[in-house]
Chains A and B, each alone.
Chain A
Amino acid sequence: MSKTRTLKHDGPWYTAGKYLILIVILLFLLFPIYWVLVTSFKTNMEAYQYPPTFFPHSPVLDSFIKLFTQHNQFFVYYQNNLIVSASVALLGCILAIFAGYSLARFKNRWNQAFFALLLASQMFPVISRMISLYAIMGKLGIINTLGGLIFALLAAQVPFCIILMASFFANIPTEIEEAAFVDGAGRWRILFTIVTPLVKSGLLAVGIYAFLMTWDDYLHAATLIQDDSLRTLSVGIALRYLGELSYDWSLVNAISIIGTIPVVLLFFFFQKYMIKGLVAGAVKG
């Protein structure tokens, strides 16, 4: 009895070391976010103070007001990013239902090759693709359009979305489908009215994943879009607000916050599905 107890309890040094490491790693991960938040509520006068202040003397909304009133172009980028990310998420879900179901149900040689193709296509660098797409899409007349950008980004996200979706479909027992098949339901009806509703939470994970990854895009938009009015968030920020000499750091920090809010909300609101999905996709897929 006493022996198991000594085994179960850690020594004080061990516990102290454990908490110390935990605190250091968490500070590394979370302090930068605190720092951005604090800076965005400082005046530029205070942001440019050295040594820095850990809490704003008098928190102000100046940088946010400036963003909303003087830097409206930011919201054009923002809107474009929203359009592109939502479209990719929606279309990605549809393609992932189709191909994910096929990969999970029909284990033939073609599907094995298709799966290998999907795995391989995640490895290629984006710049490699852009060098060629820049010319190809130019010829097709879809360069410098949001539609063209959506297709290029959709192709980049679709492989992982399908692999993820297939792992969710694989968990659905085939007996359910067999029963419906005997009752005379067609294949499409089985897929859409019987199987897909059972993987709703997986579909949510796929959609949010595609949205997050597209929201993050820089390279596709940097090479395929030239019009300022069509630019998306990352490129817009990098080109417009990061001048060589004049950094308005309070403004930049306010931009960081507004640019991150949608994805943070999305993630934390649906984190149950996201965490399950990420683990399933990476570990099983």
Chain B
Amino acid sequence: MKSRTLKRTRSDLLFSFILDAPALLMTVLFIIVPIVDSVIKSFQDYGVRNIISGKPGVWNNFANYLYLAKTDAFSMASIHTFSFVLGVVVLQFLLSLLLSLILNTEIKGARLLRSIMMTPWVVPTVISALIWMWLFQPQYGFVKYLVNLVSLGKVQDFAMLNNPRTALAGVGIAALWKQIPLMSLLLLAGLQNVPQEINEAAMIDGAGKFRRFLSVTLPYLSPVIKVSISMAIIENFKQFPLFWTMTGGGPNNATTTLAVLSYREAFVSMNLGSGAAVTTLWMLMMILVVFFYNRVFRVQDLG
């Protein structure tokens, strides 16, 4: 009997490996190998010539990294990326939390609202960019009209995406529009797991709405909050199509994020080596941010 279970564990192992194999192969070939290879390329002089001739890149003594340090393009792109991520994630969380809390109360048609509010999430990213470019359009756009109306005619020519001061916020609004639905959906699912008995017990004990939210709802919701915020951080760190379609990194590089900078280096200037240097540093930053985010959140969980 014992040898049979032993045999079974061994064949379990073999069977599970066979099942994993195709997905493992795909992940290694198309994700892990390219990522490692791009880190290697970041230390090489690798351009379009190498692709055409098939010659391997040549080690160039950190020239790609030194080049990034020389101009302020990289530091500016980092600042833009971090401001974008911070702004979008914080606003997204607050608005999604409000929306999900409201939809979780007794409201007529909450189910219907929950389903139609998901529409922006389904709209393809490039098309979301088009939608907001049309709303922000500098001559006939709806937002120009709205700003004119709200400011009582003081601001006549509002052009969100053409002004270096507001362009990043403009792309951020499009990102919020597309991402709020999913986060609200996840938070709403989390809210429905908060046990009603505890909430009612706290209510009988005389705890007010805000107090109950802080000491009953929030602790139950925190695992969902943690996951959905970390998803939002990663997604916005990686955001590319919105920028590339809406502004192309302009005006005057005001929306050049790390994604735009690396794409421009690698696929417009065709310096794949220095593009890889940008993506390597970008990945490092992202890993650090996610790592510290998880750290901070764990400490809060204990306290």
Contact = CB atoms under 8 A, between A and B. Distances in A.
Q: Do A and B bind each other?
A: yes
A98 B17 CA distance: 10
B69 interface: no
In this complex, the interface size class of chain B, counting residues with CB under 8 Å from chain A, is 35 or more
Contacts of A136: 33-34, 37
Given A128-B34, A155-B26, A234-B125, 15 more contacts: A22-B102, A30-B117, A95-B23, A125-B237, A129-B31, A131-B279, A136-B34, A136-B37, A138-B51, A155-B30, A237-B130, A253-B130, A256-B127, A260-B124, A275-B185
B86 interface: no
Interface in A14-46: 18, 21-22, 25-26, 28-30, 32-33, 35-36, 39
A74 to B, nearest CB: 13
A264 interface: yes
A128 B124 CA distance: 22
A215 interface: yes
Interface stretch (A59-67, A156-164, A197-205): A156-164
Interface string B116-158: 1111101111110011101101011110110000000000000
B140 A98 contact: no
Contact of A25 (B37, B99, B266, B279): B99
B290 A260 contact: no
Interface string A130-165: 111111101100000000000110111011001000
Interface string B215-230: 0000000011001100
A118 B145 contact: no
A218 B126 contact: yes
Interface string A209-238: 000100110110011000000000110011
Closest 3 pairs between A and B when the two form their complex, measured CB to CB:
A155-B30, A102-B19, A132-B34
A35 B142 contact: yes
A260 B118 CA distance: 13
Nearest to B208: A7
Interface stretch (B71-79, B159-167, B174-182): B174-182
17 contacts: A7-B203, A29-B120, A32-B177, A49-B140, A50-B145, A52-B140, A99-B22, A102-B15, A110-B16, A117-B27, A126-B238, A132-B276, A133-B34, A156-B31, A158-B26, A253-B130, A275-B189
A52 B275 CA distance: 43
A230 B180 CA distance: 33
A94 B26 CA distance: 13
Interface of B: 12-13, 15-17, 19-20, 22-24, 26-27, 29-35, 37-38, 41, 46, 50-51, 54, 95, 98-99, 102-103, 105, 107, 113, 115-120, 122-127, 130-132, 134-135, 137, 139-142, 144-145, 177, 180-182, 185-186, 189-190, 203, 223-224, 227-228, 231, 234, 237-238, 240-241, 244-245, 259, 262-263, 266-267, 272, 275-276, 279-280, 282-283, 286-287, 290
Contacts of B126: 218, 233-234, 237-238
Contacts of B51: 134-135, 138
Contacts of B290: 123
A129 B142 CA distance: 38
B16 A105 contact: yes
B54 A117 contact: no
A89 interface: no
A25 B187 CA distance: 15
B152 to A, nearest CB: 14
A275 B115 CA distance: 9
Contact of A110 (B13, B50, B122, B134): B13
